[in-house]
A and B are shown apart, each in its own frame.
Chain A
Amino acid sequence: MSAIDDIRLQVMWNRLISVVEEQATTLVRTAFSTSVREAGDLSAGVFDPSGRMLAQAVTGTPGHVNTMAEAVGNFMAEIPTDEMHEGDTYVTNDPWLGTGHLHDITMVSPSFLDGVLVGFFACTAHVVDVGGRGFGADGKSVYEEGIQIPIMRFIDRGTVNRDLVRILRQNVREPNQVVGDFYSLAACNEVGHRRLVAMMREIGLATLDGLTDFIFARTRAAMAERIRALPRGAWSNALMTDGYDAPIPLAVRITIGAERIHVDFDGSAPVSRWGINVPIIYSKAYASYALKCVVAPDIPNNAASLSFFTVSSPPNILNAARPAPVSLRHVLGHLVPDLVLGALAKALPGQVLAEGAASLWNIHLSLRPVAGGEGRRAEVLMFNSGGMGARPGLDGLSATAFPSGVHTMPIEATEQTGPVVIWRKELRPDSGGDGAWRGGLGQIIEIAAEDGHDFDFSAMFDRIDNPAHGRDGGGDGAPGGVHLDDGTRMRGKGWQHVPAGRRLILTVPGGGGFGDPAGRDPAAREDDRRKGYVTGESA
């Protein structure tokens, strides 16, 4: 009975999603780097033998998921399938073949059932260090940004590549944590593999072919329907960003055709001298994510749904080729959704949210005792989010990551990792753009070293000179700022020093408003005042 077979395939699809969820959970629970274990900066997925993504874990962040979706094909191009063996795991941190910068380690493991290649598991995580200049914008080329691992074997038929481990240990600042994360990535693929094989044996499947066809056919049909419902045509948008030392314009043109949406970044600034360039694999990941959020939020992310979004660009800052420095590719990468959605809003007026803080306000701290003193040294990474743009019908979310999918870390956990005190981390009043619906609030963070210590920090902040714009008459969100408590203004990018006894103050940007402020419900305004979201004290 084919109807019953159909239902069995649906059930297997659910099971496959559960398998990758287990895979991701293993990674979160065994990972060493804070960004993975506390912040969820990772992804995990299962692929068919030709390298097409079948399912991804819900846990994870778009920049990883959608880049990893393409990465498996790159591994297969380097390592022919007839040279793959049971018990192998391959690795790379190549920004152009993986997920856009050297800090992300991608691992791919073939999955064999009775000697036959039935699929692949892949996962990605951000590790705490890769050597070089550290996580920051100051490298002049990728060669200064850290160790580069070409696509190669990390585990060969069950045996770990000791030479790679030794080279790694010699090249990174926190060898135990980094090597620990390598093991944890491999373990996560191993869990996925074991569960997949158990599922196939239990159901009596020799290959995933039937299930693959089912998943892709169902997804394709649903996506095609959504694309057909959109207006056809081409729309453009431009966005100014802060850059490193001079403003950087981004541009996009989206074309909605009968069968796909094409995105082109022609007109964006040329490649930068600084490490804020974006490999196109990462630009594409966030462009596809943004479109999918509006067009098909309920359709699973897999090779079939992603195939409806195509991306091109002449060489420029959103399509930077080797050896451009790319360490902070996330700063502009996180602005790609605002860029793309600005164009889509012209096609779908009244339906697309306003611009938001977009880029995470990540900060890397390098703490040490004051010269000649005693104390502790530590590398500390914090993830912080500004306000999300107002949505049609809803205020923007305050201090919430979008488009990134990461979490913040508890400050009590952060303060356990080094001689740092976070004196303040709370909402920033008056930072949400006004509108019928208000933009989300940013936040204010005050950071100091413990007595007897000072620190350097790597700034990777945007929207200081270019705030989030409102949509459809909504006001702009408040721009960000970086200062010391004595009023000294600091730069938005690059490594800088904070002397002992001083506090670093980050004012994280707010989101833009949506719709004419005159249309805001008086009760909502009253509530804003009562809660202190809006004080009326500053513009």
Chain B
Amino acid sequence: MTTHPQIRLGADIGGTFTDIVLDVRGRLHSTKVLTTYAAPEQAILDGLAILTREAGISAGEIDLAIHGTTLATNALIARRGARVAFVTTQGFRDVIEMRTENRFAQYDLAIRLPAPLVPREDRFPIGGRIGARGDELQALDEAALEALAETLAAGGYGAVAIGFIHSYANPAHERRAREILGRRVSVPISLSSEVSPQMREFERFTTVCANAYVRPLMADYLGRLEIRLREAGAACPVVMIHSGGGLVSLGTAAEFPVRLVESGPAGGAIFATDVARRFDLTSTVSYDMGGTTAKICLIEEFQPRTARTFEVARTTRFAEGSGIPISIPVIEMIEIGAGGGSIASVDAMGRIQTGPDSAGSEPGPACYGRGGALPTITDADLLLGKLDPETFAGGAIRLSREAAETALRAEVGDRLGLALVPAAFGVAEVVDENMANAARVHAVENGRDLAGGVMIAFGGAAPLHAARLCEKLDIALCLVPAGAGVGSAIGFLKAPFGYEAVGSRVFRLSAFDGAGLAAQVAELSGTAERFVRAGTQAPLTREVTAFMRYAGQGWEIPVPLPDGSIDAAALRALFREHYARFFGRPVDGLEGLDIEIVTISVKLQDTREAPSRHTLDPIGRPIVAQAGTRPVFDPASGETRDSAVVARDALAPGDRVEGPAVIVERETSTLVTSRFDAVLQGDGSLLLVRKGFGAKGFGS
């Protein structure tokens, strides 16, 4: 069964808006509906009604609904989850509270660490111990578990999490504990060896607790959604997008809801990946900038980069270490507090700072005129001429220059003795630099160089900042695809059925156990296949990755393994090659320095139909017709220049607009700086091209 359904619905529930996309045999309809917190499925039903009417189809004709949601993330951020009982190894009751015993801000004596998801009184230590090699050091205290079962049954808990030391190496005690507790306890029980079988107890335990914490809420919601869709006439299967960018069945999603965390941003990365495939671009970086944050993701060979751990619900200014670590496969993104609503201020050194505090949508930027008194990125963009106050958001909000000026003058200009335009430039420049730095560091950490790649920009604020970001990152080409405002929901429609199973087990190359490795890969493949087959019968592709290091190091690098058996010599060569790519050169001249595999990941996914191909046209033909000009500040030259104002929908494929210019559309505007031109592509994307680029040819 390789044909894909012809009518598909994509729904992305975000914090403010729910984006709905209906793909009717290749034709896209989309809308945004306000999210209802009490009944999040309502927005999907409302959007469904709007779009089926617009497309002239009935809900019953929809073949598949694909859904992603921030509900799990929001429950973790707002701490609106279940009361969880955490059953753990005796002697380790406080792992999730003691964290890394570190302060994430070195000089802040008033620092607060995030409270654990499960408070101490709900954590229950049980005797029994597995050793580092999976051997049993002490038998499980089954009598204590029987007694605990009674306590839990009477305790009013909404969910149970079990996390034992070294359970990734041997899950027997966790499984037995579930068996015993399950006889008396009717709420769902999550095991750390199933949710996240990776070494490092703090991350694994917080992950299983987070899973238990959101499980009742998500199971309820998913059940309700299915019923209400049926009632609305949509009897099609509903599948969920997970943080790794693949699709899973509703059943899997309800059992492992922690895998739904960050599924919305994952949709954005898939959207960008689809654009990359369309133009056959092997090295791209996606840049998504909305109201609160900017997200940057590396996409290489049409695969978004993935990681095995990330942090959600950061409590302090997005600071690393201030959140809840979750170790599950995830599309790896750098997220920084830089969005249209990010607030600008001046610090003790007289330096402009932007974000991570955000004005959000209420009261919003000062220029919205809804009572916001603090200057934001959007205010600066307005004062620099990047935005037209009359047509912002399709004219839905008339922006107030006066309010933006007052706020910026009070909070930035007067404090630094800067006139309005330099102050606004300072704000925009600082936020652009912050994003550029984050992108650079992320690329370096992944052994990549951004220069020479192509940027794909989407989200409301990204097209205003993309050109300057490219200048800073030495990127010559940037695509701003059509439909950028609902990119994540469109991305859902492109997602494969896929599942990544990850397990920790140490294999040393000096005493290499090839059969053991093969068995581990087979076991993980079996796990992944079970999940994938719950949603698709299509042919599958398999990717096996070994996370390897020199014995003694603490950081593993991902090494993709070929299909089939592999010996130690070949593994060594592969590792050295990848190590050199990350860190310049392999370590030489160390006699007897061993290499080890620490974790294996197996990713299975079905094959997607290729999108229609387009050839990138960086040349085009210059056009003369222009709607008019307005003064826009140009960052590279440091002065305000008359810039052409062109309507995007007035452009035909191949039209080349010379920078400086602003290309306006309903939901956003694309700024073309003096160093760039823009060429409309065959698929409706805008390509920002650095001046002089086409002359040297493309593709090298």
Contact = CB atoms under 8 A, between A and B. Distances in A.
Contacts of A293: 107-109
Contacts of B282: none
17 contacts: A1-B639, A3-B419, A14-B433, A22-B444, A32-B553, A60-B106, A191-B444, A218-B351, A219-B349, A222-B350, A297-B108, A300-B349, A399-B101, A415-B132, A422-B91, A426-B95, A532-B120
Interface stretch (A135-143, A401-409, A475-483): A401-409
Nearest to B451: A198
Nearest to B557: A29
B56 interface: no
A32 B108 contact: no
B121 interface: yes
Contacts of B113: 397, 400
Contact of B101 (A14, A298, A408): A408
Contacts of B119: 531
A183 B108 contact: no
Could you tell me the dominant secondary structure of chain B's interface residues? loop
Contact of B200 (A10, A393, A413): A413
Given A14-B437, A353-B109, A410-B200, A399 B506 contact: no
In the complex, which range does the number of interface residues on chain A fall in?
Answer: 35 or more
B418 A3 contact: yes
Contacts of A393: 110
A18 B587 CA distance: 26
Interface string B334-348: 000000000000011
A-B pairs, top 10 by smallest CB distance, nearest first, are: A37-B554, A424-B91, A18-B437, A297-B107, A3-B422, A415-B132, A531-B120, A408-B101, A407-B100, A407-B102
Contact of B590 (A179, A195, A221): A179
Contacts of B426: 3, 6-7, 10
Interface string A498-535: 00000000000000000000000000000000111100
Contacts of A364: none
B351 A21 contact: no
B97 interface: yes
A28 interface: yes
A296 B349 CA distance: 11
Given A1-B422, A7-B429, A531-B119, A415 B111 contact: no
Given A412-B201, A427-B94, A406 B102 contact: yes
A141 B315 CA distance: 47
A83 interface: no
A155 interface: no
Given A297-B109, A399-B101, A531-B119, 20 more contacts: A7-B426, A8-B429, A10-B351, A29-B555, A30-B583, A31-B553, A37-B553, A176-B552, A176-B590, A179-B590, A180-B552, A190-B584, A394-B112, A397-B113, A398-B97, A408-B101, A411-B201, A421-B131, A427-B120, A532-B121
Given A3-B419, A177-B552, A412-B200, A11 B97 contact: no
Contacts of A400: 101-103, 113
Interface in A19-35: 21-22, 25-26, 28-34
A488 interface: no
A232 interface: no
Interface in B435-465: 437, 440-441, 444-445
B110 A391 contact: yes
B349 A34 contact: no
A296 to B, nearest CB: 8
B102 A62 contact: no
Interface centre among A299, A393, A397 (most CB of B within 10 A): A397
Contacts of A190: 584
B488 to A, nearest CB: 28
Given A10-B426, A426-B92, A532-B121, A58 B106 contact: yes
Nearest to B443: A22
A215 B202 CA distance: 39
B370 to A, nearest CB: 29
A89 interface: no
Given A25-B445, A29-B555, A397 B199 contact: no
A436 B131 CA distance: 42
A385 interface: yes
B556 to A, nearest CB: 10
Interface string A381-392: 001110000010
Contacts of A13: 351
Given A18-B440, A293-B109, A443-B98, A187 B583 contact: yes
Nearest to A529: B121
B119 to A, nearest CB: 6
A37 B348 contact: no
A40 interface: yes
A401 B90 CA distance: 24
Contacts of B302: none
Interface in B164-191: 165-166
Interface string A323-355: 000000000000000000000000000000100
Interface string A218-231: 11011001100000
Contacts of B506: 416
Nearest to B553: A32
Contacts of A167: none
A412 B132 contact: yes
Interface in A355-388: 383-385
A4 B638 contact: yes
Given A416-B506, A426-B98, A15 B437 contact: yes
Contacts of A412: 132, 165-166, 199-201
B352 interface: yes
A294 interface: yes
A100 to B, nearest CB: 18
A292 interface: yes
Contacts of B92: 411, 424-426
A530 B200 CA distance: 28
B102 A401 contact: yes
B127 to A, nearest CB: 11
A242 interface: no
Contacts of A191: 444, 584
B93 interface: yes
Interface in B112-140: 112-113, 119-121, 129, 131-132, 137
B49 interface: no
B108 A180 contact: no
B550 interface: yes
Contacts of B555: 28-30, 37
A14 B434 contact: yes
B430 A10 contact: yes
Contacts of B129: 421, 423
B410 interface: no
B155 to A, nearest CB: 14
A446 interface: yes
B425 interface: yes
Contacts of B349: 218-219, 221-222, 299-300
Interface string B474-493: 10000000000000000000
Interface centre among B106, B137, B417, B422 (most CB of A within 10 A): B106
B347 A298 contact: yes
B422 A7 contact: yes
A218 B346 CA distance: 12
Contacts of B564: none
B554 A421 contact: no
A202 interface: yes
Contacts of A32: 550, 552-553
A456 interface: no
A78 B253 CA distance: 63
Contacts of A4: 422, 425, 638
A390 to B, nearest CB: 11
A397 B103 contact: yes
Contacts of B200: 410, 412-413
A38 interface: yes
B425 A7 contact: yes
Interface string B539-582: 00000000000101111000000000000000000000000001
